[in-house]
Structure 1
Amino acid sequence: MKSKAAIMKTSGKIELGRRRAVWELPAELANLHHKVSIGSSCFLKLAPRPSKHWDARRAAELAVGAGFTLDKPCFFRSQIAFLSVTKIESLPDSVGPKMQTLMVGLNPSPYSSASRVPYGRPGNRFWPAAHRAGLISKDRDIHHALVHHGIGFTDLVRRTTRRAGEIDPPEFRSGFERVKSLIEWLKPKVVCFVGLSGWRIVSNPKAKAGIQPASIGLTTVYVMPHPSGLNAHASLKDLIGH
């Protein structure tokens, strides 16, 4: 998704969110991520309208969610956040204030990062299952899914790897804190963790697929099997049922 918001350069800074709502920043940051090269450093000035949901922590979490690493801690003054960040190979969050469901993956693959589509690799059954289950009506279109069906996307860990096994449990747990903060802020009705292994690492080692006994704030937690074609334990019919 490409945000229509203008990217303003002010005194060497890239200014985003000027006089806009805080919830519009993820799309603006995603747009910036798509425009700059991997390894590029940016100095950001984030200046949305003042809000009780806006502080240094939120600014840092939104930058990380958009696929940037922080070069130094966020400097926050007079409701304006200043961040020095570097773009990594990632897939920015697609989230908004009226989400019905937030899909949480483990971490993006290089293929998904390049295509800008979560679960985008040929053979991954997420989109066919979601379409047949009636969750979405347009294949592999995250903007359409968010705007028309209230379905958002993020991951526990933002950096890409070829295999999720390349990420250690502490990194998943650290990423879960960011995801939990995102959920408590935007309050989707349901959060769906895609893949049992992620939820087992961050919450319940004995968890089974389905609705979980623990919620996150007012948000119901659901866990589904991973839709990768390599997961022989779950058929397409099983995934549609979830």
Structure 2
Amino acid sequence: MLIHGGGFVATRTRALYRRAHTLPDYIGPGMHILLVGLNPSPYSADVGVGFARPGNRFWPAMLAAGLVDHARDPRAALVEHHIGMTDLVKRATARAAELDADEFRCGHERVTSLVRWLRPTVVCFVGLGGWRAAADPRAVAGVQAQSIGSTTVYVMPNPSGLNAHATVDSLADHFRAVKKLVH
């Protein structure tokens, strides 16, 4: 692009910044549950909805647990069910293995700030590996011994189709356990 006039000398310009390939946070006051994914996939970042791939078991498990009425609608989850969504690491990657420990630790600091500010009843980290990298290498799924302020921390397995150990039923059981912590 050339710039002419107004005292400018014609020159080429280029963008110094570009929009991050990520997902927005769906958060707000009055949240009961904050769900924290590991990081968005490129597919999810493209469509603007977390856990959007058809093979991902997140939304089917959320529906089976009775946490939401609509699949793939994070805005409705927040507005109708007081369930917020964010990611531990905001950078989109095809596999969580592409992330490094520093990204998880920095993401944990960001999520901790969100939790201290918005004070949901429960924060649920959806992906045991991310929680282990960010906070506790020996963690097991379930309620954690540490909290964030007065907020209970729950950690569950990753619902990605790449995680062969997690089924819709087992993930729904985790979501039901999170729901019980609120009610």
Tell me the TM-score range normalised by the shorter chain.
0.7 to 0.9
2:157 pairs with one of 225, 235, 239: 225
Structure 2 residue aligned with 1:94:
26
Does the 8 Å contact 2:122/2:153 carry over to 1? yes
Structure 2 residue aligned with 1:158:
90
**CA distance, structure 2, for counterparts of residue 238 and residue 148 of structure 1:** 25
Structure 1 residue aligned with 2:144:
212
SS at match of 2:86: strand
Offset at residue 88 of structure 1 (A): 0.9
Structure 2 residue aligned with 1:141:
73
Q: How does 1:64-213 map to 2 (within 5 A)?
A: 86-213=18-145
Offset at residue 203 of structure 1 (A): 1.1
Offset at residue 106 of structure 1 (A): 1.1
RMSD, matched Cα:
1.4
Does the 8 Å contact 1:125/1:227 carry over to 2? yes
Offset at residue 232 of structure 1 (A): 1.4
Extract unaligned runs of 5+ from structure 1.
Answer: 1-38, 42-84
Offset at residue 115 of structure 1 (A): 1.0
Does the 8 Å contact 1:40/1:87 carry over to 2? no
Task: List structure 1 segments (4+ residues) > 6 angstroms apart after TM superposition.
Answer: none
Letter in 2 for 1:112: S
Does the 8 Å contact 1:89/1:113 carry over to 2? yes
Q: Specify whether residues 40 and 209 from structure 1 end up closer, same or farther in structure 2 by C-alpha distance, changes over 3 A only.
A: farther
Letter in 2 for 1:161: T
Does the 8 Å contact 1:104/1:193 carry over to 2? yes
Does the 8 Å contact 2:57/2:167 carry over to 1? no
SS at match of 1:215: coil
Offset at residue 156 of structure 1 (A): 1.2
Q: Quick check: which one's strand share is greater?
A: 1
Offset at residue 40 of structure 1 (A): 6.7
Offset at residue 226 of structure 1 (A): 0.6
Offset at residue 173 of structure 1 (A): 0.3
Extract unaligned runs of 5+ from structure 2.
Answer: 1-13, 175-183
Letter in 2 for 1:225: P
Aligned length: 161
Offset at residue 94 of structure 1 (A): 0.6
SS at match of 1:171: helix
**CA distance, structure 1, for counterparts of residue 168 and residue 59 of structure 2:** 10
